[in-house]
């Protein structure tokens, strides 16, 4: 009789949609499956999918869950709340009809578009939002003025704001023209309107701002206003990013 909570590894892989049980056994036999950092080839091994960290070809297989994990490309003009007391457009319009009670991870300013995570997994949401995990976000910004070549270095070294110093992790100029510049930056600081305040402080106010990545997640070609479930690999990468 199987131990409580433990089932055969090939069954876990099949239930996760990795492969059929037979194919999962082949993956194990070829040394492509690991549990808690150890390669597993013995077919009879049992695991607890809620506790053990399972990987195939190095990719995390997320534990089975009834939680929902979604990505929204939030349009500009929508507030990051499920219900706005002032009657402004909010996130509820995108999740109407779903059975879960969803909430957003972090927030995007009303005038900022892009990647927003929606879930009902409170533990993961807390980890993703907590400063100690230093989750990196990527933004693309259209700014006023011709950005000089030395601005990236200045922003990486740090700029003093009214609530303390702030810096970016990466800064790239993607295009310049007609008194405007298109820039891309990585930042792990989560303070209010931090990207806009940083760029304004260095003399290049933001015209348009979009978040294109959140940790391991990429917005890709998801259309503005569209919502989709995260894939198995995306969920696994997200769990890995916060050690869940």
Q: Which residues are marked as active site?
A: 109
Cα(236)–Cα(8) distance, integer angstroms: 20
Q: What is the 3-state secondary structure (H, E, C) of 75-104?
A: CCCCCCCCCCCCCCCCCHHHHCCCCCCCEE
Cα(229)–Cα(123) distance, integer angstroms: 18
Cα(117)–Cα(103) distance, integer angstroms: 8
Residue with tokens 């760029």: 199
Cα(196)–Cα(187) distance, integer angstroms: 12
């Amino acid at each position: 009789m199987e131990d409580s909570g433990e089932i055969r590894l090939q069954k876990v892989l099949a239930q996760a949609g990795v492969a059929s049980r037979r194919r999962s056994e082949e993956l194990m036999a070829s040394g492509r499956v690991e549990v808690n950092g150890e390669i597993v080839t013995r077919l009879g091994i049992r695991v607890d999918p809620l506790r053990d960290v399972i990987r195939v070809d190095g990719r995390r297989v997320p534990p089975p869950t009834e939680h929902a994990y979604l990505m929204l490309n939030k349009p500009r003009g929508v507030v990051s709340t499920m219900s706005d007391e002032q009657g402004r457009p909010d996130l509820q319009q995108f999740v109407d009809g779903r059975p879960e009670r969803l909430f957003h991870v972090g927030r995007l300013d009303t005038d900022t578009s892009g990647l927003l995570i929606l879930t009902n997994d409170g533990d993961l949401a807390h980890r993703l939002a907590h400063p100690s995990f230093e989750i990196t976000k990527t933004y693309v910004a259209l700014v006023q003025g011709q950005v000089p070549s030395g601005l990236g270095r200045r922003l990486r070294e740090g700029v003093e704001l009214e609530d303390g110093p702030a810096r970016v992790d990466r800064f790239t100029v993607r295009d310049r023209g007609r008194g405007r510049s298109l820039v891309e930056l990585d930042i792990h600081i989560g303070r209010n309107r931090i990207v806009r305040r940083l760029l304004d402080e260095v003399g290049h106010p933001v015209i348009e701002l979009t978040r294109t990545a959140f940790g391991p997640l990429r917005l890709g070609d998801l259309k503005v206003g569209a919502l989709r479930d995260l894939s198995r690999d995306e969920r696994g990468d997200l769990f890995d990013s916060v050690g869940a």
